[in-house]
Amino acid sequence: MSTSKTKNNTRNYSYICFTCKTPYTGRREQADKTKRFCHDSCRKAKSREAEKAAKQQSRIEEQKNRWSKSPVGKFVIGQCRRAGNVAILWGNTTASLVELDNFNTSYEKCYGYNSEERKSLFHRSHIQANAGADGSTGALHYLNLFISLDAHNLSASNKFVSADAGLRVPASKLIKKWEVSKGDTRQQITNKIHAFLGDEFTNYVNQPHLIRMDTVHTLAQRIYNRQQKGTAVKALEQRYTLAQLEQQTLKDLEIMDAIQRGKTSVSSFRPELYTRATLCVYADELERMAAVSLSERHRDNCRFMLALVRVLGIYIAQAETQQGIDHRSFLPLKDAQWSPLEYVNWQQPWGTPDQQLIDADHSLLISSIAEHCYHALSGADVPRGFLQARLLKRIDVATLVPTVQAPEQWRYAALGSWDKFVDSLYADAEPVWQSLLALDLCTPGQVEEARTGLLWSLQGAIEKARHEYRNQDGFKRTYKGKYYSRWGFNSYPEHLEFPPMLADLMQPMVEDEHRAAA
């Protein structure tokens, strides 16, 4: 700022406009640089900019508050409170926070929470343990977390397993500035997380579609909204503030929600009924870590265990039992029946099998594979030869060719063409073949033969379906004393016509028939 005097001894001041940066002169002294404007338009523009920034900040604070009530927010805040420092989030970016959210969603979908014992069948486990010998700690990062069976995680405790897998936060980052006190509120910890991660956290919470409040806060908000808008079928006995509702138990909120909707009973969701099978959970986590881990050794171990789990899962899924249904994702056949694997009774190869002995052997195999899944995910090496021999000693290939079923009319219409129907058959069978190939249970040549065999199976299924179609009672009629077995039959429907890809298979057979006739 500079000054000058005019002929009337009036003092002028030289300024730079805070908005447009244009030099101008003024008669009043303005010490605050943020209030120096050359025109009213610049002053108004700055005011609008300030209002926009205030609204944006208010929106961020609202999103932070919602995040703190979300399942992933509660998990992160709880972990920071447990570690006593928000710096355990060191290394996270906007993208990794989104992945952490996805990881927590996958964990929730495992279910398995026992309300009576107040514990879950599954844990969110760390690769690098919470407390390191050098003062470091395991990072709260999706690359350092995996879902495991609670018993496996509890038995591993806080032991050091691997130096190259997972992520650690160095002791130098765990400074006093980022410490969490016992008395810190949820919002105070959220603010510390925001201060620590900065724009990465801001950009993350600015994606509203990612943030969903947990069941308690969602129900509380729903009940509160009905109360304020007067849209409830039946009013509650008293009016509540949103804060009071958020302090209620889930059971009480479900009762309130039922009353407002005019219901006489509460139908609570029972997560224990939808608990995922342990091998299914481990398969998903092994596949994820085999793709994202920073350690090649870690990825190799996860890929190997994934191959074992898939083969074992396929064998279990064959059984027409609840356990088989729980593992059906390993053998998701829609248009075929298939039992590709069989159990080798190695303990009594020539005698009458003892079912109790077989059941015990099955349990040993499953528990052994599951335990080493945890070891592989945690970064430890696994005894590959021993585990593969243990599996192959008990399981062998029965058939590589599924028994294909002819498509129902609605199923064919949904897919729209024979090409898509055959593609769906291969899409179901290919993962099974590749799993067996990975453990040398079959050869590439045998798989090629199985691909052709699948088409032959389809051809046989269509022939059978055509026979049943043309022999329907609707095509049988007696007219003027004469019996007609195909009355009104003109042609087969589209879903029972032979697909074009079978023409190449059937052509040699047709030529052989013609030569024989000649």
Domain locations along the chain: 2-55, 58-210, 215-274, 278-465, 468-517
Q: What are phi and psi of 405, to 5 degrees?
A: -110, 140
200 Cβ contact list (under 8 Å, min separation 6): 92, 93, 94, 97
Please tell me the predicted confidence (pLDDT) of residue 27.
Answer: 66
Residue 513 has what pLDDT?
45
* pLDDT given for residue 507 in this prediction: 60
pLDDT for the residue 457: 92
Q: What is the structure's pLDDT at 510?
A: 44
Res 473: pLDDT:
80
Cα angle for residues 156, 159, 164 (degrees, 5° grid): 110
Mean pLDDT for the chain overall:
85
Place of tokens 């005698």: 351
**pLDDT computed for residue 38 by the predictor:** 79
The pLDDT assigned to 3 comes to 53
What is the model's pLDDT at position 455?
92
| Predicted TM-score (pTM) of this structure | 0.80
- Ranges of the chain with pLDDT below 50: 6, 509-510, 513-514, 517-518
Nearest CA among 398, 286, 394, 276 for reference residue 328: 276
Condensed to tens digits (0 to 9), the pLDDT of residues 71-111 reads 899 999 999 999 999 999 999 999 999 999 999 999 988 98
* Neighbouring C-beta atoms of residue 413, cutoff 10 Å: 11
